[in-house]
Amino acid sequence: MRYELSQTIALLECTPVALNALLRSLPDFWTFSNEGEGTWSAFDIVGHLIHAEHSDWIPRATMILQHGESQTFKPFDREGQNEKSRGKSLPQLLDEFAAVRGKSLSQLRAMNVQDGDLDRRGRHPAFGPVTLGQLLATWAAHDLTHLHQLSRLMAYQYREAVGPWSVFLGVLQCTGHSSAA
Amino acid sequence: MRYELSQTIALLECTPVALNALLRSLPDFWTFSNEGEGTWSAFDIVGHLIHAEHSDWIPRATMILQHGESQTFKPFDREGQNEKSRGKSLPQLLDEFAAVRGKSLSQLRAMNVQDGDLDRRGRHPAFGPVTLGQLLATWAAHDLTHLHQLSRLMAYQYREAVGPWSVFLGVLQCTGHSSAA
Q: Which of A46, A63, A138, A173 is nearest to B144 (CA)?
A: A173
CB contact under 8 A, A134 and B161: yes
Distance CA B11, CA B118 (A): 18
DSSP β-ladder status, B128-131 and B121-124: antiparallel
Give contacts of B174 with chain A, Cβ < 8 Å: 148, 174, 177
Q: What pairs with residue B124 in β-bridges?
A: B128
Using CA atoms, how far residue B82 sits from A9, B75, B87, B93, B177, in Å, is 30, 17, 10, 12, 20
Residue A176's region, left for phi above 0, alpha for psi from -120 to 50, else beta, is: left
In sequence order, the 6+-apart residues with CB closer than 8 A to the CB of A23 are: A30, A31, A42, A46, A90, A94, B14
For residues B141 and B42, is the Cβ–Cβ distance under 8 A? no
What pLDDT, on a 0 to 100 scale, did the predictor assign at position B180? 45
Q: Within chain B, where are the H helices? A: 5-23, 28-31, 42-55, 57-67, 81-85, 90-111, 132-156
The C-alpha atoms of residue B47 and residue B100 are separated, in whole angstroms, by: 11
Q: Report d(CA A152, CA B177) in Å as an integer.
A: 12
For each successive 10 residues of chain B (181 residues), what is the average pLDDT? 92 98 98 95 96 95 96 83 86 98 98 96 96 98 97 96 94 70 42
Per-block mean pLDDT, blocks of 10 residues, chain A (181 long) = 92 98 98 95 96 95 96 83 86 98 98 96 96 98 97 96 95 70 42
Which pLDDT tens digit goes with each residue over B132-169? 999 999 999 999 999 999 999 999 999 999 999 999 99
| B39 near A CB under 8 A | no
Question: Which residues of chain B are within 8 Å of residue A178 when distances are taken between CB atoms?
Answer: 168, 170
Q: Is A3 on the interface with B (CB under 8 A)?
A: yes
Q: Cα separation of A85 and A101, whole Å? A: 16
B123, amino acid identity: R
On whether any CB of chain B is under 8 Å from the CB of A105, the answer is no
* Mean pLDDT computed over every residue of chain B: 93
